Structure 1
Amino acid sequence: MSQTLTWGILGAGNIAGVFARGLTNSKTGKLLAVGSRTQESADRFGDTWNVPRRYNSYEALLADSDVQAVYISTPHPMHAEWAIKAAEAGKHILCEKPIALNHADAMAIIEAAQRHDVFLMEAFMYRGHPQMQKLVELIHTGAIGDVRIIQATFAFRAGFNAEGRLFKNELGGGGILDVGCYCTSLARLVAGAATGKSFADPTQVKATGHIGDVSHVDEYTVASLAFPGGIVAQLLTGVQVNAENEVRIYGTEGSITIPAPWNPGAGQTTKVIVKRHGEVSEYTFETEDLYGVEADTVAAHIEERQSPTMSWEDTLGNMRTLDQWRAALGLTYATEQPDGPGQQLPVHKRPLAVRAQTIMKYGSIAGVEKPVSRLVMGVDNQTNWPHASVMFDDFFEQGGNCFDSAYIYGGGLCEKMLGQWIKQRGIREQVVILDKGAHTPHCNPQALTSQFMQSLDRLQTDYVDVYMMHRDNTAIPVGEFITVLNEHKNAGRMRAFGASNWSMERLQEANDWAAAHNMSGFSAMSNNFSLARMIDPVWDGCIAASDPEFRAWLEKTQLPIMPWSSQARGFFTGRARPDDHSDAELVRCWYSDDNFQRLDRVNQMAQQRGVLPITIALAYVLNQPFPTFPLIGPRLLSETRTSLPGLSVELSPEDVRWLNLEA
């Protein structure tokens, strides 16, 4: 049975009132408190909806220990901050759609819910209507054959108000986030049902539309989506156009129409109409209060911490699609820019700080005075500010302080993102920057200097902690490289330097030459090093250090290695199977009999220790008899989270040898 919940409403606007009315029809929920920005508005709302406790701040509402669940009804840009703070306060969360402005902020909310073990659901109330369950059933049973085209429309013409949330860029205005999110979520629901899944993400998103000259938001727009299985969708939304606001689905044998898909009122009769080979079938439903149903859905799934009505992965996929829709129009919000309002702070709007409970470990690199986190975040995929800032903030809060980038990553954009973040957060002396340059074909002393000076400019700093040559050029004597690197080190532009993708022989030659000429040598290196043997270089010029001879040399010299692809680019995540050749690069670089034997042993040990296989694979790199600082390349916050436990797994020398088929 569903448990009863005492609710607090965070925000006192129109939608908050709609939810308050819904709670009066809920079987499980009781409205106890409201929090607003002023006592006057809290009291007004409380008088209207008979709310016993009225707070003049959101913080005070979250501090009420009798409030078990909160409904977040603030404007879009405030959702992430208050959902995270609600999770930290131990409250279960129903957050009005869209859950955040973008996919990055949505990730941060979900990670907070996971970390604090609370329920979280994005409030798409239409998903709880019986007609949606019937729709999925009809698709599953092939009522219209194979689904081919989905048409979903949700738009309205609002009176223009330059300061209102619908027409204000700073408030996340426009049709896509306000009501286009419904169309997107339904298309993904139907495409998923048609392909045997709970939802499906589009493989392509294209769009046209009108962005207002004054509002700078999408006032009306149409998107075309392509899904697996040959399914296409046409979505129409807007805040300056009237539309029929219905759903039509066309298949090989017929069609389905839902005339009132989004928000039928309590007591209203709705229909799902099926036409097949000239015959018409109608399924009718009497609507309950959808917001009351929504509250009951939260109560019913509290123990699972999420609901299949709108799961976390469904929410993330929907937000990613909305990001793509806006990107197709060239629409960004002011708060998504590095210099935008509030961007000096993380999404939770507190100063950046390492969390009290962190398992991060640290080591040292000669020449670098700061401790260096044993895990290093790769900065090679963060090309927009929301994604970059959320990923970097989370890694720093987890205790990570070392970031790896390069002159060539993102055409320089990745260095710029990292530099902008460090400047915005004011943490230059708290982080270790590992930067690389002089990649083939520009691997020579002159290009090294030219690129390095550009990198410093992009990074907005006068020095890097560790500089790595990205490649080697064996046509140039090692002394020429060592000389120019010492010049930069002596000038204070780098604290230490090293080499990436150099052979063992050239590394030794370079350090011998440096010692003979009373100069600094390489303090670290960055070749591939992982449990899985790299069969074929991932990129031209790549060199691995995983073979026995190289490992023996590292153990003898104790030269720290900061290895890339330390987790073999996903080989140990479940993606690699001998019969699965869908990922051509994974097959080319990592598929071999001995690697699959290593994978079997990783799976065995992971099961014995109750951890993920990827955790064992990373622990192998961390537990070597020489200093290692593995580079990880998470694209998602969940990937950072699942990498960290590798720090806590202790492997004996015998364990290490066994995993590597040496025992």
Structure 2
Amino acid sequence: MIEKLRWGILGTGSIAGKFARGVTHSRTGTLYAVGSRTQEAAERFGEQWSISHRYGSYEALLQDKDVQAIYIATPHPFHARWAIQAAEAGKHVLCEKPLALNHAEAMAIVEAAQRNNVFLMEAYMYRCHPQIDTLLSLIRDGAIGEVKLIQASFSFQTSPNPESRLMNNALGGGGILDVGGYPVSMARLIAGVANGKPFEDPLSVVATGVVGETGIDEYTTASLAFPGGILAQLTTGVRLRTENVVRVMGSKGSLLLPDPWTPPDAQNTKIILYQYGKEQPEEIEVECTEYLYGLEADTVANSLEQREAAAMSWRDSLGNMRTLDLWRQAIGVVYEAEKPEGKTLTVSGRPLAVRPGSKMKYGTLPGVEKQVARLVMGVDNQTEWPHASVMFDDYFERGGNCFDTAFIYGGGRCETVLGQWIKNRGVREQVVILGKGAHTPFCTPEWLTKQLLISLERLQTDYLDIYMLHRDNPEIPVSEFITVLNEHKQAGRIRAFGASNWSLARVEEANRWAAEHGLSGFVAVSNNFSLARMVDPVWAGCIAASDSQSRAWLEERQMALMPWSSQARGFFTGRARPDDHSDPELVRCWYSEDNFQRLERVNQMAREKQVLPISIALAYVLSQPFPTFPLIGPRALEETRTSFEALEIELTPDEVRWLNLERDHL
């Protein structure tokens, strides 16, 4: 006999009971252990479902070496913590929907599963029922022609008790997260199949809704637009009863799922097909002899080797969470757990610390007492706490300690969120802050001082480790800039300073003047530098240092370079092709014959070294004969992870020259 998958259930609420019943009727699983916040609750649940191993804490459940898979059944705000800790304990994870409170937390869960090589699936059990396969087959086969409109609803009426989970903001209450993910995931699934994909993310999300006194969405509707002219009308709520069906309208007919979300156990279901020109609809019977949650448990067991299930893949869950975020944003629902106040721990529930086995490499900068991470986190896109905290935590846990930000980024929000994170985590003396100011048209010594003082306030610190002029103003003599920067350094507001988007000739002039007058000069430059040549400046006033003359200057002086767009805005990720002009900015700034030759060589070397092309491109920047501290600007944790792979790639000088077309062959 094949050994059955040993399940541990984390949480003992009503949904845990439904899953326990399903496992007892599954083909592949057995109920082995349960963990609750109290021993009494664990005993009651264990007695009810004949579970032998009963633990009075979630931690004790995860420590049981014989438990192979964990079902997370806690309220939404606790999914991330326990899913991550389960993955770190080496357990396969089935996490009740929604996967997390928001997209940022979901990213952290997916990364934990990837890092620990365990299975992970979000528990949308309806995806495992055979009626979904039948529905998708009908759409693929053209039974209703081209899909035009999807209507889906999942809403019910609960009591208005403000302390109940469904009405409690602190517990992630409201319809969007509790059941709204069902119609969203269904619409994305159908739109994807209609477009020949596993799923499709919406181009836009527009919504209206009623937000109650407790700060949760009581009922709401959303309109989604997908590629291919497909629209979706979705309804969800916890204070309104609706029909709770799915309709798919096409150019030749329509489909109706009368019971899409919770089809009955071990009973046949039906899909109703309406075709234009036929008087009577066709009832298509779907055979099912299994239990709904048993099918879900079997899906997990049968997909362990792949580490994710086709029924609800990691990318599908991430896209679903992002859509739910947009829906909540459209009607103004924010959860207490998403606010920064008092948040000192990471989403895993643990204090921030560098993970064992960090691959980070470090360098030094004159005047900066701390070691500086060779990969610098660009803080130019993180304006909200949930996203920023997850991104910053992950970077720090990987050994990163240097953050690049600027006065103008996000209208000040980026500095504010970074400062809040540093304060919350208590890591000011463990991190290096690279701040920038005096951007055109405010590039004067007077504005430099004004902006620096504001930046310090936003960042909640009394000094910056490195401060850089964001742009140059050739009308201002270098002496004036150097003088005011030295004044701030002597006052302790900055430890060292440099220049961003300054010509190397102006940098040399400034440092020469500083030396002549016994003052400090620039210790670093932050110009563009990447394997791809910047054909046209990304922004006005941008300066690159990728040419041979600039590289020779930097090597001779051993001046540190902290290059922005070190990965050429994704040119080496597979987005760039000579025949693909869908991204006009990528085309304008990076498309050229010589850059595509470099791309071809990057792809060849990546195949030989069995790494990602983007990792080769970043390793090129790290492998220069002068100090480099590339700035990376990840929007997602996956991008941070793949960037860090470059730290483990050693390129020889010959390989560096070959990649840059300086040698015809090695």
- TM-score, normalised on structure 1? 0.99
CA contact (8 A) 1:2 1:299 kept: no
Amino acid at match of 2:310: P
Amino acid at match of 2:476: I
**What corresponds to 2:11 in structure 1?**
11
Deviations 1:139-176 (A, max 9, x none): 11111111111000100001122111100000000000
Equivalent residue for 1:307, pick from 306, 309, 318: 309
**What corresponds to 2:294 in structure 1?**
292
CA contact (8 A) 1:94 1:298 kept: yes
3-state SS of the aligned residue for 1:255? strand
Within 2, Cα distance between the matches of 1:261 and 1:652? 58
Within 1, Cα distance between the matches of 2:616 and 2:496? 31
CA contact (8 A) 2:108 2:637 kept: yes
CA contact (8 A) 2:561 2:628 kept: yes
Note the 1:566-577 alignment, pairs <5 A.
566-577=566-577
**What corresponds to 1:54 in structure 2?**
54
Deviations 1:312-359 (A, max 9, x none): 00000000000000000111100000005xx21100111100011110
Within 2, Cα distance between the matches of 1:140 and 1:384? 40
- Percent of matched pairs sharing the same residue: 68
**What corresponds to 2:270 in structure 1?**
271
Per the TM alignment, residue 269 of structure 1 is displaced from its structure 2 partner at its CA by 3.3
Amino acid at match of 2:319: G
3-state SS of the aligned residue for 1:257? strand
CA contact (8 A) 1:34 1:51 kept: yes
Within 1, Cα distance between the matches of 2:557 and 2:135? 66
**What corresponds to 1:616 in structure 2?**
616
Note the 1:440-455 alignment, pairs <5 A.
440-455=440-455
**What corresponds to 2:282 in structure 1?**
281
**What corresponds to 1:142 in structure 2?**
142
Per the TM alignment, residue 2 of structure 1 is displaced from its structure 2 partner at its CA by 8.3
CA contact (8 A) 2:554 2:626 kept: yes
Deviations 1:249-278 (A, max 9, x none): 111111100010000221333211111114
**What corresponds to 1:22 in structure 2?**
22
**What corresponds to 2:105 in structure 1?**
105
**What corresponds to 1:76 in structure 2?**
76
**What corresponds to 2:496 in structure 1?**
496
CA contact (8 A) 1:353 1:397 kept: yes
**What corresponds to 2:586 in structure 1?**
586
Equivalent residue for 2:319, pick from 311, 317, 320: 317
**What corresponds to 1:628 in structure 2?**
628
CA contact (8 A) 2:602 2:616 kept: yes
3-state SS of the aligned residue for 1:242? coil
Per the TM alignment, residue 3 of structure 1 is displaced from its structure 2 partner at its CA by 6.4
* Structure 1: tracts of 5 or more residues without a match: none
CA contact (8 A) 2:501 2:543 kept: yes
**What corresponds to 1:337 in structure 2?**
339
**What corresponds to 1:552 in structure 2?**
552
**What corresponds to 2:647 in structure 1?**
647
Within 1, Cα distance between the matches of 2:270 and 2:329? 35
- In the alignment, is residue 44 of structure 1 matched against residue 44 of structure 2? yes
Per the TM alignment, residue 360 of structure 1 is displaced from its structure 2 partner at its CA by 0.2
**What corresponds to 1:430 in structure 2?**
430
Within 2, Cα distance between the matches of 1:49 and 1:456? 58
Call closer, same or farther: CA 1:190–1:3 in 2, change over 3 Å.
farther
CA contact (8 A) 1:3 1:299 kept: no
- In the alignment, is residue 470 of structure 1 matched against residue 494 of structure 2? no
Note the 1:524-535 alignment, pairs <5 A.
524-535=524-535
**What corresponds to 1:260 in structure 2?**
259
Deviations 1:44-103 (A, max 9, x none): 001111111110001111111111001000010010000000000100010000010000
3-state SS of the aligned residue for 2:54? strand
Q: Which moved more, 1:276-285 or 1:475-484?
A: 276-285
3-state SS of the aligned residue for 1:468? strand
Amino acid at match of 1:205: V
Note the 1:599-610 alignment, pairs <5 A.
599-610=599-610
Give the aligned CA root-mean-square deviation in angstroms.
0.9
Note the 1:226-237 alignment, pairs <5 A.
226-237=225-236
Amino acid at match of 1:272: I
Within 2, Cα distance between the matches of 1:9 and 1:160? 29
Amino acid at match of 1:140: R
Note the 1:79-478 alignment, pairs <5 A.
79-213=79-213, 215-279=214-278, 280-287=281-288, 288-339=290-341, 343-478=343-478
Runs (4+) of structure 1 moved beyond 4 Å? none
Within 2, Cα distance between the matches of 1:268 and 1:169? 37
* Structure 2: tracts of 5 or more residues without a match: none
Within 2, Cα distance between the matches of 1:253 and 1:409? 50
Per the TM alignment, residue 192 of structure 1 is displaced from its structure 2 partner at its CA by 0.2
Deviations 1:603-652 (A, max 9, x none): 11111111111111001000101000000000000000000011111111
Within 1, Cα distance between the matches of 2:228 and 2:2? 37
**What corresponds to 1:512 in structure 2?**
512
Q: Which moved more, 1:160-169 or 1:425-434?
A: 160-169
Amino acid at match of 1:490: Q
Deviations 1:513-548 (A, max 9, x none): 100110000011100000100000000000000000
Within 1, Cα distance between the matches of 2:464 and 2:135? 57
3-state SS of the aligned residue for 1:94? strand
Call closer, same or farther: CA 1:514–1:637 in 2, change over 3 Å.
same
Q: Which moved more, 1:381-390 or 1:650-659?
A: 650-659
Amino acid at match of 2:140: H
CA contact (8 A) 1:3 1:300 kept: no
Call closer, same or farther: CA 1:150–1:20 in 2, change over 3 Å.
same
Within 1, Cα distance between the matches of 2:478 and 2:341? 43
CA contact (8 A) 2:249 2:255 kept: yes
Size of the aligned set, in residue pairs, is 660
3-state SS of the aligned residue for 1:528? coil
Within 2, Cα distance between the matches of 1:126 and 1:645? 37
Within 2, Cα distance between the matches of 1:547 and 1:347? 43
CA contact (8 A) 1:32 1:51 kept: yes
Amino acid at match of 1:308: A
Deviations 1:380-435 (A, max 9, x none): 00011000000000000000000000000000000001000000000000000001
Deviations 1:201-225 (A, max 9, x none): 0000010000111x21000000000
